[in-house]
């Protein structure tokens, strides 16, 4: 475990890099109607009969839905709409949640070992593990495939990050109790 303690910054950087790579990978497909007698173009994937899918990255999805979220938020704050009218559109803000473990990782790398920051980082990792699992389970089973590796890599990187933080937290706690 001494190796992990010595190279904790490097391991955290690797987990952060995996999270970024996962968000650059395909998360969802844009449905394109292509009859079965035609092949899908090279960048497209056959996702079900009569449809090909154009892969879209997690960053693209966050940007696409996130712009609408900020528009609704502005309308709510300026009084142009009520909370009841804006409520369903505010749910689009959930697409920004994958940024939480990225930000908490950056803060942990920048500010160092602080118990509250480390706790907040572990909460962000746990929250995103749950939400990523919900995303994977809720997707159409024909769409969640090996071609859509972004959520799977994101989930693996989150689990690895949580394991590293849990082990180092346990080791530092047991080391402090022994002293």
**pLDDT tens-digit profile, the chain (179 residues):** 677 678 888 999 999 999 999 999 988 888 888 898 988 888 888 877 888 888 888 898 888 777 777 788 888 888 888 888 887 777 777 778 888 999 999 998 888 778 888 889 999 999 999 988 888 887 765 555 666 889 999 999 999 999 998 888 776 665 555 54
At 29 the three-state DSSP class reads strand
Residue 9 burial class via C-beta count within 10 angstroms: exposed 0-12, middle 13-18, buried 19 and up: exposed
Instruction: Estimate the crossing angle of helix 8-24 against helix 99-111, to 10 degrees.
Output: 160
Q: What is the pLDDT of residue 22?
A: 94
Which stretches of the chain are DSSP H helices?
2-6, 8-24, 58-78, 83-90, 99-111, 115-138, 150-178
Tell me the whole-structure pTM to 2 decimals: 0.79
Distance of CA 140 to the CA centre of its chain: 18
* 68 contacts 93 by C-beta, under 8 angstroms: no
Q: What is the pLDDT of residue 17?
A: 96
CB atoms within 10 A of CB 1: 10
What are the domain boundaries of the chain? 2-168
């Amino acid at each position: 475990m001494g190796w992990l303690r010595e190279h904790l910054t490097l391991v955290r950087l690797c987990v952060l890099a995996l999270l970024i790579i996962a968000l650059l990978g395909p998360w969802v497909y844009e449905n394109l109607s292509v009859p079965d007698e035609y092949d899908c173009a090279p960048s497209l994937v056959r996702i079900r009969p009569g449809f090909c899918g154009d892969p879209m990255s997690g960053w693209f999805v966050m940007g696409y839905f996130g712009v609408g979220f900020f528009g609704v938020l502005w309308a709510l704050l300026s009084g142009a709409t009520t909370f009841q009218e804006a409520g369903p559109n505010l749910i689009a803000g959930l697409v920004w949640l994958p940024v939480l473990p990225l930000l908490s990782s950056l803060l942990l790398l920048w500010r160092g070992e602080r118990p509250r920051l480390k706790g907040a980082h572990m909460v962000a990792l746990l929250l995103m593990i749950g939400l990523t699992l919900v995303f994977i389970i809720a997707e159409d089973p024909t769409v969640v495939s090996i071609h859509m590796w972004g959520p799977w890599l994101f989930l693996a990187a989150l689990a690895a990050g949580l394991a590293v933080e849990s082990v180092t937290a346990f080791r530092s706690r047991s080391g402090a109790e022994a002293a």
